[in-house]
Amino acid sequence: MKMNKFWLATAIMAVTASMASAKTLVYCSEGSPEGFDPALYTSGTTFDASARPIYNRLVEFTPGTTQIEPGLAESWDVSADGLEYTFHLRAGVKFHSNDSFTPSRDMNADDVIFSFERQQKEDNPYYTVSGGTWEYFQGMSMPDLIKEIVKVDDLTVKFVLNRPEAPMLANMAMDFASIMSKEYADAMLAAGTPEMLNQAPIGTGPFQFVAYQKDAVIRYAANADYWAGKAAIDDLVFAITPDASVRYQKLQANECQVAPYPNPADIDAMKANADLQMLEQQGLNVGYLAFNTQQPPFDNPEVRRAISMAIDKQAILDVVFQGAGMVAKNPIPPTIWSYNDAVQDYAFDPAAAKAMLEAAGVTDLSMKIWAMPVQRPYNPNARRMAELMQADLANVGVNVEIVSYEWGEYLSLSKATDRDGAVLLGWTGDNGDPDNFLAVLLGCDGVGGSNRAQWCNPEFEDLIQRAKVTSDVAERTALYEEAQVVFKREAPWVTIAHSVVFMPLRKEVTGYVMNPLGGHSFYGVDIAE
């Protein structure tokens, strides 16, 4: 006990002493993490606090892009049939240590295999720890995809797949694929505290977890042994601040240096503030209005095109997004590779729309528009958006009734193939791969599920299926570009908007790069003296 107090005092003194001289970056995060094992959770707030500072993955997204670069794997080979991915691991990568654990070896193939098997194999002792449901592993179809993971030698791991899957590499850069320490997991299991893997995380990442006070503060220290070099800042602190106006005040008072998700109403004042800088980027998302293409008259592409032309999207952007958005013409945002900028959107033209509806023999049309009950980055106010559409469509003689349901019901009911009405919804990408938008939202497999337009077009389906099984990026790009042309011609959705994400920082902060996938990471960030 005496010993304990001694250590406590030393630790406190060490922390206070280092706080005085060290470079500390305070990030006013928008919410609390659910835990620190990224594979257990699905929210971006949790990933910001766990996967990005604490862990690495086999491959990583190059900062500021959706491209893949080496991470814990220095290189990789893909077999000609696309069924085998062999990763060559980096040597000499150190795991963090804490009060109860000091690693005895460097990261190796066992850690990689453990990180995935705990999510896949029911006989793995960690499969049920912390009530794990492994939502992302399941959601990305990993259990069906991965046949086995083989240790070739200490620094070589081979993933054998059941079918070729081009987005596999991008999946390996996702947060759920973070590499955990098997040695730590074994030690915690032996100590009878396996949940510590989630509560006192050990990773290989640029920052080491120090402490979390629930709903208040998370503390990290720079990992001095980080394989890519120590971070420029010494201490990273997340000050959990749920209210956007308060985040802005804290930023002004220099109580934090980075504060995400500003109120749209504050953005102009922030831009004018000489102490702040403002970064912006399109979000990895799309907001859309999905027709039910299996129900007349919306089974007729001409009717869908006419409705698209009757809606004034720019007005929606101005009113609903207040400038924090851009008009969408494709089902994928421009930050994703293969975005086809040559596609022409339907111009806003009520007169032509009216004529097209008459030519298609549609008169006195009444339809429902479903408005989501929640705010989303791709649609900050669905009710308002639906009202604007209602007014636009009244001008071409279409009578619109707006309906809404509780969010859970909304998501379930909108899946039905016999659903009455067009649905406002959207999507935020997971891994920056076009397949993650086009196949999930518009593929034939998604009909009755995530494909809210209930749209199954053979020409489109053929293109995206071919793109899924080839790993050649140039070839895939060509296929996806063509798929976007087919999509626009057939108009199963009215594409509405991609959000624009703003990021206010103090002037002194350098090296911060916005991530098109939406997360926040602080490796490479420095504070000018």
Partner 1 sequence: MLKFILTRLATFLPTFFGVTLIAFAFIRLLPGDPIIVMAGERGVSPERYQELLHKFNFDKPIWEQYIYYLNSVLHGDLGDSFVTKKPVVEEFFALFPATLELSICAMIFAVVLGLPAGVIAAVNRGKIFDRTLMSAALVGYSMPIFWWALLLIIVVSGKLGLTPVSGRISLMYYFKDPTGFMLWDSLASGQKGAFASALQHLILPTIVLGTIPLAVIARQTRSAMLEVLGEDYIRTARAKGLSPLRINGLHALRNALIPVVTVVGLMVGTLLTGAILTETIFSWPGIGKWMLDSIFRRDYPVVQSGLLLIALIVMAVNLTVDLLYGLINPKIRKR
* End-to-end CA separation in angstroms for the chain: 42
Q: Are 223 and 206 in contact (CB under 8 A)?
A: yes
**Residue 188 three-state SS:** helix
Please report how close the Cβ of residue 367 comes to partner 1 at its closest, in angstroms: 23
- Taking the least distance from each CB to partner 1, the nearer of 44 and 206 is 44
Please report how close the Cβ of residue 220 comes to partner 1 at its closest, in angstroms: 12
CA nearest to 488, candidates 343, 383, 378: 343
Please report how close the Cβ of residue 50 comes to partner 1 at its closest, in angstroms: 12
Please report how close the Cβ of residue 129 comes to partner 1 at its closest, in angstroms: 9
Q: Are 265 and 472 in contact (CB under 8 A)?
A: no
- What's the CA gap between 473 and 500, in Å, rounded? 27
Please report how close the Cβ of residue 328 comes to partner 1 at its closest, in angstroms: 16
Please report how close the Cβ of residue 247 comes to partner 1 at its closest, in angstroms: 9
CA nearest to 25, candidates 166, 311, 231, 277: 231
- Taking the least distance from each CB to partner 1, the nearer of 80 and 253 is 253
Beta strands 24-27 and 235-239 are: parallel
Please report how close the Cβ of residue 525 comes to partner 1 at its closest, in angstroms: 17
Please report how close the Cβ of residue 260 comes to partner 1 at its closest, in angstroms: 14
DSSP secondary-structure letter at 98?
Answer: B
| Geometric angle at alpha carbon 131, from 126 and 134, rounded to 5° | 75
Cis link prior to 297 (omega < 30° from 0)?
Answer: yes
Please report how close the Cβ of residue 223 comes to partner 1 at its closest, in angstroms: 19
The structure tokens 């629930």 sit at: 214
DSSP secondary-structure letter at 376?
Answer: B
| Geometric angle at alpha carbon 37, from 183 and 213, rounded to 5° | 110
- Taking the least distance from each CB to partner 1, the nearer of 196 and 398 is 196
Integer angstrom CA distances of residue 339 from 175, 272, 435, 444, 484: 24, 33, 12, 21, 8
Adjacent-strand bridge partners of 498: 326
Determine whether 26 is exposed, middle or buried from the number of CB atoms within 10 Å of its CB (0-12, 13-18, 19+).
buried
Residues that bind partner 1 in the complex, under the rule CB under 8 A: 8, 11-12, 15-16, 19, 24, 26, 34-35, 40, 42, 130-133, 135, 138-139, 195, 198-199, 211, 213-217, 219, 237, 239-243, 245-246, 249-250, 252-253, 255, 405-409, 411-412, 415, 425-428, 449-450
With b for 16 or more beta-carbon neighbours within 10 A and e for fewer, the 285-301 pattern comes to bbbbbbbbbbbebbeeb
Secondary structure in 3-state letters for 432-482? CCCHHHHHHHHCHHHECCCECCCCCCHHHHHHHHHHHHCCCHHHHHHHHHH
Q: Are 286 and 427 in contact (CB under 8 A)?
A: yes
- What's the CA gap between 248 and 256, in Å, rounded? 9
Please report how close the Cβ of residue 70 comes to partner 1 at its closest, in angstroms: 28
The structure tokens 């759920």 sit at: 176
- Taking the least distance from each CB to partner 1, the nearer of 236 and 365 is 236
**Residue 401 three-state SS:** strand
| Geometric angle at alpha carbon 330, from 325 and 331, rounded to 5° | 90
- Taking the least distance from each CB to partner 1, the nearer of 11 and 391 is 11
Please report how close the Cβ of residue 469 comes to partner 1 at its closest, in angstroms: 22
Please report how close the Cβ of residue 199 comes to partner 1 at its closest, in angstroms: 8
- Taking the least distance from each CB to partner 1, the nearer of 85 and 291 is 291
Adjacent-strand bridge partners of 237: 26, 219
Count of helices and strands (H, E) across the chain? 19, 19
CA atoms within 13 A on the CB side of 57: 24
Please report how close the Cβ of residue 174 comes to partner 1 at its closest, in angstroms: 13
